[in-house]
Structures are given as C-alpha cells and as structure tokens.
Amino acid sequence: MPTFHRPSPRLGSAAGLIITLLLALGLVGVGAWLLLREKPAPAVVPAQPGNAAPTTNGTGPTGPVKPLANPPPDPNAPKPIEPALTVPVLPPPGPFQAKDGVILVDISEYAGYAGLIAANQGLEPNPESLFTKRFGLQVKLVIGEGEQWGKLNAGEFAASATTADVLAVLGRQWKVTVPAQIGFSRGADGILVRQGIGSINALKGQAVVTSQWNEADFFIRYLAQEAGIAVEILPGIDTKPQADRIGLVFAEDGEKSCQIFASELQRPQPRLAGAVGWTPFTDTTVAGSGGKARFLVTNRNLLVVADVLVLNQGWASANPAQAQGLVHGLLLGNRLVRDQPEAQLALISKAFKWDGAKTRAELARVHLSNLPENQAFFAGTIDSAGSFGGIYQSAVLAYGRGLIPDPADPDRFHDGRWLKAIADTGEFKDQKIAIAPIRSGSTQALEGTALLSKDIRFLFQANDAALDLNQAENRDYFEVIRRFLQVSPGSQVLLRGHVDNGQIEFFRKQGGEALVRKMALSAMDLSKRRAAEVRRHLIEQLRLDANRIETVGRGWEEPLGSVAETNRRVEVQWFTLE
C-alpha cells in the first residue's frame, strides 16, 4: 500500500481551516464508499504462524502484499532457555532406604529400558517378576519426567538409567556405581539441519539448538570435537557464533529443540542451522518442514550413546546381593526382548502407553546389550561400538576443561564384580557379541557425503612417503582413525593426501609452466603414496578392515592457506551409514 506522510502543520485563517476540514471529510466519505461497495467474497485462507493472513491472489486492496523481511516464528513455539555455564550441582549424597522392601528404579519413556520392564513383568512389584522369582526382590520401575540425577544421589532411588557421557559431566559429586550397560541407542537420537548443509564442518559459524547436559548435547559436541571444531555457548538465538565455531543454543529437552527449529524454518532467514533431538520429534519435524529440513546424521550406526545402569552407591555397598540381582535381572530381561520381542510387545506397550506399531518402531531404534557385549563394553575390547572408557573420555574432551576442569577417571564409577559373578554361573555362555551395521538404501558409505572431515598432519620424512613412527603424534593420529571405524559399524574413511604448494613459483621461474605441470604430477603421486602409507599401517598394525579404508591423492590442488606446514596433511573424511 502507498505510504501517506503527515504534512507539516501550517497556520491559517479560521475559514481556511473549516474548508480544509470539509475537504478531508469528503475524501474520507469517498474512501469509505469505495471500500464498502459490494464485491464477491474471497475464499478464507487461514493465517500462517508468524505471517500476515494471505489473500486468495497474494494482493491487498491496492496492490501486492509485501511480506515482512524476516517474520517472527510461531508465537506458540517454545523459547530457548538461558544456558548454564557450569555443570549441575547435585544435592548431598545419601543411601537409598527401601520402604516395605520395595526397590525404586528410575527410568524414562524410552524403548532402551524395555529389558527392565520385561524382567519385572511391568512397572509394579508383582509375583511374576523375574526379580522376585529369581532373586527375591520387589522392584518398582518409575517413569520419571526429566533427569533424576539429584534424586538418585540423595537416596530417593536405588537405581536409575542414564547415558555414559553424563558420568563425565557430573564427576566426583555423583556417588554412584555403574555395574552394567543397558544398551545402545540406534537411531533414537539425531541431528537435523537445513537443506543444503551437508556435513558437521558446514555448521561452522552457525547455531544449533539442543538440550543441555544430556546425550543430545554430547552428540553434537562429540562430532564437533572429532572434526576439530570448537563449540561456543550462545546467550540467545540472535547471537551468531565465531566463524570457526559451532554455536549452541539450548532448549528444555529434545522435543522442544525440534519445535524451536521447526518454528525457525518458517522464517525466510532462519537463525538456526539445525537441531539435536530424539524420536519421534525429529521425524515429525523433518516430515512437516516442507523439504526445508533433513537428517544430517542419527546414531543408528554411530554407537556413542550408551545407556548404563547406575546404582546409588550407599545402597549398593550395603546390599551387594540385591545389586547383583538387579544386574542379573536386567540381563535376563534384555535376553527376553532380544530373543522374543513379539512376546513382550503387549507388556512394553502397556508400560509406556504406546500402541503395538509404535512399540515395534521404537524397539528397532535400540540395541539391548547381552553379557559378552557388556564385558567388551567395559573392557574396551568392543570393536563395533563405543566403549565405556572411550565414551567417557570423549565426553571429557567434548565438554572441555572450561566445563570439566578436573575430570574423574572412569574407573571410579565402574564395578565389574557383579558381571563377573554372573558370567561364572554360565547362564549366558551361549551369547555372542552381535552388533552389525543397519543398512538402508546404499550399501556403500562412500556413495554418500562425508559426515565430517578432519585434517591430520602426519609427520613424514622430507619429500618421501615414509612415516616417522618414532613420533608420538603419528601414533595418536592412527588412534583417531581407528576410533572413527570402531564406534560406527559399516562406516568408511577416505584418506585424502595433500602436499604443500610453496614451491610453485620457484618451479615456474626455473622451467616455466612445463616444469610446474611436471612437478604437479609428482606432487599428486607423493600425496597418494602418503595416504596409502597411512592406510597400510592402519591395516597391518591396527588390524583394521582394508575394505573400510580408501585413499586418494590430491597433490597441491587444495591448499588450506599460505602456510606450508598446514598444507602437508592427510585429510580424513568419515562416511557413516544412514
């Protein structure tokens, strides 16, 4: 619509003022007649959240409607919360005291805890519970809202279920014992991004919304850390992070993270690049985005979110036989759900108030661990998923010294005596480690886009492909690549060799473009041989699967900058299966 500017006030006679007033009233009357004359009624189109209601043809009474430059998101969407800049402080520790002999175990509405429900034959204590029949325990499973770390510490619960990364965050103040792994999340957690964002590296300089201090927070921090990218806690959604960092904005939980992101996608210029959440909210956000959002990655084949059983330390110390019965019952329940999922479907559905279809879908997104998987998880010998120590140390690195200045050792928490005693019974001797890739679509990871890329400066002999194995850095770099393949079954790495381009002008002065072309071919060959040498050591020394490691030489074609040392590198691209 045209804009009418108020004229500057002028002085005049009384007659002049009256004439002016009459003219103004006449103009108003003409305008009213034009607006009120009969027209066909347009179809009613509901207003879209955050925008003015559109007309049927996209025009207003006097011409095209001009949209707001960056209209606000859905006013009903949740808002980000103020970030916590220090780790949560727990109440003082105290031992759990059972009332009427009932052991309280805190769980959440998550299929990964289906084994506990199967073992207990429901949520309430009952005579059909395996905990009761086998070990004389009265167990009550309490489905709680939010994290109950403080209540477990204070002795309101005997046990709880959480993820291994949380132990690194809470540290020494959390007086708990970890006797067993419950399982791995396999697709329950995911990172959503706007269309056009293809990797973790592409999130640099942009903001992502997640919930704080839980597996969602750890998931994005873990991947950023593996890519060598720092994260930055942002005070609010309108603050942009530094160009070389991923900014984190926080929501109350994974559901609200997805809702905030969905609301932002309504803007022409969304302030968020992505969100970290969990099913079913990640699925509905993508489905309802009109093609504006996609999954960047889930943990279906990235096994770094591991659920563990945590016991109130005072209770476990005073009641070791009951603690062992709880662990043993967990393994029995996990076996029931693994071996006979349909037989347990109604029981699990009733406990979580799900229908059968939802229960099947949610069970497909978890891996319930058996005894040998538990043993390998804590021993660090599991070769197709993250280990307890590996995930714990990754969390320490991902959160950084600013948040965890004095990390505790993971051995402080784990007590393996109960798993050992159960193994000695021989009851689970027929079980095997069975963690395999979940494939959908392409069978080759390298056909997709790399999840992340990391530049590693392996130290080679000058102008040679021979690795200097006396350098501790090189051994550490091998471990980085091994860890990529370990935590993500079915994933592959592409080693892209690079050399520095600092001598190009020298070659040009010595022999013109002909010498430059000749030396470019030599540089390509050297970069390829260096990548191949790294691959050879990974296969021969670390016994990694040769089919999961590919190489390519890029010569001096892709410099990072003008510093020669930074250009002499092997770039590791990590391709995960989705």
Reported as a single tens digit per residue, the pLDDT across 309-338 is 999 999 999 999 999 999 999 999 999 999
Specify whether 288 is located in the same domain as 207.
Answer: yes
Q: The pTM is what?
A: 0.82
Give the separation between CA 273 and CA 9, rounded to whole angstroms: 50
Give the separation between CA 265 and CA 223, rounded to whole angstroms: 23
Q: Which domain holds residue 408?
A: 102-182+304-424
Q: What phi and psi, each to the nearest 5 degrees, are found at residue 493?
A: -120, 145
> What three-state secondary structure class fits 536?
helix
Specify whether 418 is located in the same domain as 562.
Answer: no
User: What's the confidence (pLDDT) of residue 471?
Assistant: 80
Identify whether 9 is part of a domain.
Answer: no
Identify whether 38 is part of a domain.
Answer: no
Give the separation between CA 578 and CA 574, rounded to whole angstroms: 13
Q: State which of 424, 456, 471 marks the end of a domain.
A: 424
Angle between helices 504-540 and 472-487 (to 10 degrees): 60
User: What's the confidence (pLDDT) of residue 554?
Assistant: 84
Q: What phi and psi, each to the nearest 5 degrees, are found at residue 366?
A: -135, 155
Identify whether 145 is part of a domain.
Answer: yes
CB 111 within 8 A of CB 363: yes
Could you tell me how far CA 259 lies from the centroid of its own chain? Answer: 16
Q: C-alpha angle 571/470/539, rounded to 5°?
A: 50
Specify whether 309 is located in the same domain as 414.
Answer: yes
Give the CATH number, domain containing residue 241: 3.40.190.10
Q: State which of 298, 327, 359 marks the end of a domain.
A: 298
CB 184 within 8 A of CB 307: yes
Q: What phi and psi, each to the nearest 5 degrees, are found at residue 549?
A: -130, 120
Give the CATH number, domain containing residue 467: 3.30.1330.60
Specify whether 389 is located in the same domain as 289.
Answer: no
Identify whether 505 is part of a domain.
Answer: yes
> What three-state secondary structure class fits 44?
coil
Asked if the peptide bond before residue 280 counts as cis, ω within 30 degrees of 0, the response is yes
Specify whether 177 is located in the same domain as 311.
Answer: yes
Torsion of CA 297, 299, 305, 307, to 10 degrees: 150
Give the separation between CA 51 and CA 296, rounded to whole angstroms: 28
Identify whether 318 is part of a domain.
Answer: yes
Give the separation between CA 113 and CA 365, rounded to whole angstroms: 12
Hey, CA dihedral for 230, 232, 237, 242, is it positive or negative?
negative
Strand intervals (E) in 475-567: 492-498, 549-553
Specify whether 309 is located in the same domain as 369.
Answer: yes
CA within 13 Å, CB half, 427: 13
Specify whether 415 is located in the same domain as 534.
Answer: no
Secondary structure string (H, E, C) spanning 547-566? HHEEEEECCCCCCCCCCHHH
Structure tokens at 392: 């714990």
Specify whether 496 is located in the same domain as 414.
Answer: no
User: What's the confidence (pLDDT) of residue 189?
Assistant: 94
**Number of domains composing the chain:** 3
User: What's the confidence (pLDDT) of residue 70?
Assistant: 59
Residue type for position 214 = N
The helix (H) or strand (E) run that includes residue 182 is strand 176-185
Identify whether 31 is part of a domain.
Answer: no
CA distances from 294 to 72, 197, 281, 287, 491 (A): 22, 9, 13, 9, 20
User: What's the confidence (pLDDT) of residue 85?
Assistant: 94
Specify whether 544 is located in the same domain as 479.
Answer: yes
Would you call 437 exposed, middle or buried from its count of C-beta atoms within 10 A (0-12, 13-18, 19+)?
A: middle
Give the separation between CA 47 and CA 394, rounded to whole angstroms: 47
Give the chain's end-to-end CA distance (angstroms, integer): 50
Specify whether 493 is located in the same domain as 554.
Answer: yes
Q: State which of 298, 326, 342 marks the end of a domain.
A: 298
CB 485 within 8 A of CB 302: no
The radius of gyration of the chain from alpha carbons, rounded to an integer in Å, stands at 31
Identify whether 69 is part of a domain.
Answer: no
CB 306 within 8 A of CB 367: no
Specify whether 178 is located in the same domain as 197.
Answer: no
Question: Along the chain (578 residues), what's the average pLDDT of each consecutive run of 10 residues?
Answer: 31 38 41 40 32 31 43 80 96 97 97 98 98 98 90 98 97 98 95 96 98 97 95 96 97 96 95 96 96 95 96 98 98 98 97 97 96 96 91 96 94 97 97 87 58 85 79 87 90 89 85 87 88 92 92 85 75 86
Identify whether 330 is part of a domain.
Answer: yes
Specify whether 243 is located in the same domain as 349.
Answer: no
With tokens 């499973």, the residue in question is 141
Of the candidates 239, 224, 243, the one whose C-alpha atom is nearest the C-alpha of residue 272 is 239
User: What's the confidence (pLDDT) of residue 74?
Assistant: 76
Strands 207-211 and 492-498: unpaired
User: What's the confidence (pLDDT) of residue 41?
Assistant: 36
